């Protein structure tokens, strides 16, 4: 009888600890995803900033690419937290090329809608 009681108490403690640990693991995964997306956005901003250095180029196409990169940097810096939230909310894949595709799509949609208003 005593062994059965101890076993039941141990099982209850185990299940309580299991539910607590599973909820903390979910929040840890969420924060890791948020940090990873933030890192990928920062990496993309750095790539765009390096393209901005081409603004003094003799090539017209490179100057255009540099101007576009400057606009992307401004947009990404201003909307970084919002973009992270949207990506996590829609459960966007956290692969580098998919994040870059998503950021470009949001950037061009933003400026397309902005030009339609003017």
Q: Where are the domains of the chain?
A: 31-117
Structure tokens at 115: 């030009």
> What does each of the 118 residues of the chain score in pLDDT, given as a tens digit?
666 766 676 666 766 666 655 555 556 777 888 889 999 999 999 999 999 999 999 999 999 999 999 999 999 999 999 999 999 988 888 888 999 999 999 999 988 887 765 5
pTM of the model: 0.71
How far is the CA of 105 from the CAs of 15, 16, 26, 51, 68, in angstroms? 45, 45, 29, 19, 14
The interaxial angle of helices 2-52 and 60-89, nearest 10 deg, is 160
């Amino acid at each position: 009888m005593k062994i059965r009681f101890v076993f039941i108490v141990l099982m209850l403690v185990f299940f309580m600890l299991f539910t607590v640990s599973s909820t903390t693991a979910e929040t840890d995964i969420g924060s890791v995803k948020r940090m990873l997306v933030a890192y990928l956005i920062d990496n993309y901003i750095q790539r765009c900033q390096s393209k901005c250095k081409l603004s003094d180029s003799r090539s017209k196409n490179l100057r255009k690419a540099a101007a576009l990169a400057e606009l992307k940097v401004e947009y990404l810096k201003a909307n970084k937290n919002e973009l992270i939230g949207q990506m996590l909310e829609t459960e966007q894949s956290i692969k580098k090329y998919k994040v870059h595709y998503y950021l470009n799509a949001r950037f061009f949609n933003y400026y397309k809608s902005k030009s339609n208003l003017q």
